[in-house]
Amino acid sequence: MRNTPQKITQAVDIYYRGASLRGTQGHLGIFYPHNASNVSIYKWIIKYSKMIGKFTEKLKVFSSGSVEFDEMEYHRRKSHKSKGVDKNWFIDNIDTETRFMLSSGYSKSRSKKAIKQILLKMKEKTSEIKVITTDGLTAYPNVVKKTFGYNLKAGKYNIEHNVRNASRGDGFNYKVERLHSNIRARTKTMRGFHGSLSSAYYVMKGYEIYYNFIRKHQAIKCCPYELAIPELKDKLNEPNKWIALINLANQNI
């Protein structure tokens, strides 16, 4: 890249901490004489979210065994050339103890197929999950049980599925809802997604990386990866974890 690693990763970090693309551009213009355009910054975000994401998707993760699973509604402009929006969904889950986001995806719908894809990603990362807690969406029970299977010998499903329906007074899945509050705080400055489905997917993949590996979680006083993947502590033991993650991703291509 023609720009320095420090400048590129600074731009990506500022963006995921809440600045808009043009806000990030304005910030860089104060410190760098040859400023980058907002389009260049956007390309950096997509490029390195994709690169790091390929590495982090392959990591095996320690889980406490309990996961909260949920989805968020988003609106994405169908085309920059025409009016109208598509209703899309960000589907994700979080370990209740480590606070690690095990898997996520930006999808055109919250169909059984879309939910199953996220469940399968989660299953690939860890074999320790015993309990999944969801809201009352009717698609969940069948998909959760089919994904994890039935144990004929024990005479029960391999996973316990808890359903909390807030409208019936069952309460909320507070930990995943708290995560969603953080995501909403970031994405509200975007004023909706204006690119393709793939673009929205990688922007949100970058947030997953930021949440798991960059941002210190207030409840656990550390980054979630430090509890979920403790062997990475030494490899990410530097202030600029974005560069460390990019280097690890390059080594594992």
For residue 53, the model assigns a pLDDT of: 96
For residue 156, the model assigns a pLDDT of: 85
- In this predicted structure, the answer to whether residue 125 has a pLDDT above a threshold of 90 is yes
Q: What is the mean pLDDT of the chain?
A: 91
Q: How far is CA 253 from CA 33, 69, 74, 214, in A?
A: 33, 30, 32, 21
For 67-111, write each residue's pLDDT tens digit.
999 999 998 877 666 677 888 999 999 999 999 999 999 999 999
- In this predicted structure, the answer to whether residue 154 has a pLDDT above a threshold of 90 is no
For 217-240, write each residue's pLDDT tens digit.
999 999 999 999 999 999 999 999
For residue 191, the model assigns a pLDDT of: 65
SS3 247: helix
Single-letter amino acid code for the residue at 218? Q
Domains and their CATH numbers in the chain: 5-58+232-251 (no CATH), 66-199 (3.30.420.10)
**16-44: average pLDDT:** 91
For 164-221, write each residue's pLDDT tens digit.
987 777 778 999 999 999 999 988 877 667 778 888 999 999 999 999 999 999 999 9
Region of poorest pLDDT, from 41-50, 154-163, 174-183: 154-163
Residue ranges of the alpha helices (H) in 32-111?
38-56
The pLDDT > 90 percentage for the chain reads 74
φ/ψ of 21, rounded to 5, equals -60, -45
Task: Give kind and range of the element (H or E) at residue 176.
Answer: helix 174-187
- In this predicted structure, the answer to whether residue 51 has a pLDDT above a threshold of 90 is yes
How does residue 1 score in pLDDT terms, banded at 50, 70 and 90? low
Q: How far apart are CA 138 and CA 134, in angstroms?
A: 10
The set of residues, in sequence order, having a beta carbon less than 8 Å from that of 142 and lying 6+ positions away, is 112
Region of poorest pLDDT, from 124-138, 146-160, 216-230: 146-160
